[in-house]
Amino acid sequence: MNNKLYRIGQLSKKAELPISTLNHYLNLKLIKPEKVIGSGYRLFSNKTLETILEIQKLKKEYLPLSVIKQQLRKGRELLIKEPSAQYRQLTLPTFEPEYPPITFQFPSTRFQGSKLKLVEWIWQNCKHLDFNSVLDAFGGTACVSYLFKTRGKQVFYNDYLKSNYYIGLALIENSRETLTQEDVEEILKRHPEMKYPTFIQETFKGIYFTDEENEWLDVVVTNIDTLITNIYKKAIAYFALFQSCVIKRPYNLFHRKNLYMRTAKVKRSFGNKITWDTPFPVHFVRFVEQANESIFDNGQKNKAFCTDAFNVKGKYDLVYIDTPYISSKGVGVDYLEFYHFLEGLVKYNEWETLIDWKSKHLRIKHGKSIWNDKNKIYQAFDTLFKKFADSILVVSYRSDGIPSDADLMSLLKKYKAKVIELNRKKYKYVLSNNGESQELLFVAA
């Protein structure tokens, strides 16, 4: 073989594997790029291609990737002829139809509350139900909507945050549009004929990102809004921008003015300084790649909404409900408080009028949501269950919340004859100080 270097799309064609699979191999450190060029694009050698072909040979014998990784690291003789009986039993193929692997194809995410690690469990407890259309009433990161999309369902994604709505547009409603290399170059380039605002540089100096990063954000968000006219391409660009912002933040949130945690020259026991210090354009390109490879057409006309769940119109076979959570101590999860900066990015031209200037971290002004009020949340659930009483209701919940699981069961039984409660024990929630809780799933048919 020659010394030619390939971008990941070219490597995908050579190996005859989807880029999502190659990204999965990269995440597991089964392969690595030969070099990363200035724009953030990864280049791979023929040696990497040989490693991928080697992995595929081992996979034909149903060896798990953890074992394949050991073989590659140790350089031992390949276990093709006699894989152990233990691994043969562990990885025998099932008769379940093959669908895109959710946790591999769906882009990586660090958003709080994401159900990405639980989607397969959710599917196992829903697949027996008779339904075609699905409303994901509190769509968030869209990973549950994406689960149902891969299973051929008609999916209706909804979230009241406009920033999340763009994620739904990019990954759920969109079936074929992707960002090209030329699109990305246009977004990342400072165009001399354009006059760029300096709002983020002036307003958020020293709060979330460095001066240089704030300047970059002003340029990029202006380019996305001005130069990208296709709504789905725009949505992918915003998605990549959100992910890039979140990954460079301590705790992946915007709830505190804490840039110093990134920049202070001290020994750290948390976070990833290499990730924090990786330039924005590199993160952006990586997330564009991930989003592009997550786009597919499932043969259905899927739709994304941006409204309060109580205002969603239409009839749906199944409604999936994953509301903001109130702890047993009465403390609610406020996603606008956590991600107000991302909401500002998609409302860039009106951002200044939305800010609560009295807050240290310059959050967006907003009232207390009914889903964060322990005195109103019972009525909120009751109203929502009544609204969708004609649909199958699937409710994700935590065991240590308000209302209690028993109260939630009672509310569901007001409208549904058959309610089943399932749980997945010992699930550790991101940024939770309560140790391990139980993830509950109510299925009301």
* Position with higher pLDDT, 163 vs 434: 163
pLDDT at position 33 over 80: yes
pLDDT at position 138 over 70: yes
Q: What local confidence, expressed as pLDDT, does residue 427 receive?
A: 57
Question: What is d(CA 159, CA 433) in angstroms, rounded to the nearest whole number?
Answer: 27
Element (H, E) at 43: strand 42-44
* Position with higher pLDDT, 274 vs 226: 226
Q: What local confidence, expressed as pLDDT, does residue 92 receive?
A: 35
* Position with higher pLDDT, 262 vs 322: 322
Is cis: bond before 403, omega within 30 of 0? yes
pLDDT at position 40 over 50: yes
Q: What local confidence, expressed as pLDDT, does residue 169 receive?
A: 98
Say if 171 falls within a structural domain. Answer: no
Question: What is d(CA 335, CA 343) in angstroms, rounded to the nearest whole number?
Answer: 10
Question: What is d(CA 132, CA 299) in angstroms, rounded to the nearest whole number?
Answer: 12
Say if 17 falls within a structural domain. Answer: yes
Question: What is d(CA 269, CA 267) in angstroms, rounded to the nearest whole number?
Answer: 7
pLDDT at position 305 over 80: yes
Say if 374 falls within a structural domain. Answer: no
Say if 73 falls within a structural domain. Answer: yes
Say if 35 falls within a structural domain. Answer: yes
Q: What local confidence, expressed as pLDDT, does residue 76 receive?
A: 45
Q: What local confidence, expressed as pLDDT, does residue 85 receive?
A: 40
Say if 50 falls within a structural domain. Answer: yes
pLDDT at position 433 over 60: no
For residues 377 and 401, is the Cβ–Cβ distance under 8 A?
no
Overall pTM surpassing 0.85 (yes/no): no
Summarize pLDDT for 141-164 with one digit per residue, the tens. Answer: 999 999 999 999 999 999 999 999
Q: What local confidence, expressed as pLDDT, does residue 108 receive?
A: 78
For residues 237 and 187, is the Cβ–Cβ distance under 8 A?
yes
pLDDT confidence band for 396 (50 / 70 / 90): very high
Q: Can you tell me the mean pLDDT for 189-205?
A: 96
* Position with higher pLDDT, 112 vs 217: 217
What does the mean pLDDT of the chain come to? 87
Q: How far is CA 348 from CA 121, 197, 315, 352, in A?
A: 38, 10, 34, 8
Range with lowest mean pLDDT among 10-19, 203-212, 332-341: 10-19
For residues 401 and 372, is the Cβ–Cβ distance under 8 A?
no
φ and ψ at residue 41, rounded to 5 degrees: -75, 140
pLDDT at position 408 over 90: yes
pLDDT confidence band for 65 (50 / 70 / 90): confident
Q: Can you tell me the mean pLDDT for 322-341?
A: 91
Range with lowest mean pLDDT among 181-185, 235-239, 330-334, 418-422: 330-334
Q: In the chain, how many domains are there?
A: 1
* Percentage of the chain exceeding pLDDT 70: 87
Say if 416 falls within a structural domain. Answer: no
pLDDT at position 319 over 90: yes
* Percentage of the chain exceeding pLDDT 90: 60
Domain that holds residue 39: 6-90
Say if 62 falls within a structural domain. Answer: yes
Q: Can you tell me the mean pLDDT for 381-394?
A: 98
Residue 82 belongs to domain with CATH number: 1.10.1660.10
For residues 320 and 137, is the Cβ–Cβ distance under 8 A?
yes
Q: What local confidence, expressed as pLDDT, does residue 435 receive?
A: 54
pLDDT confidence band for 329 (50 / 70 / 90): confident
For residues 239 and 109, is the Cβ–Cβ distance under 8 A?
no
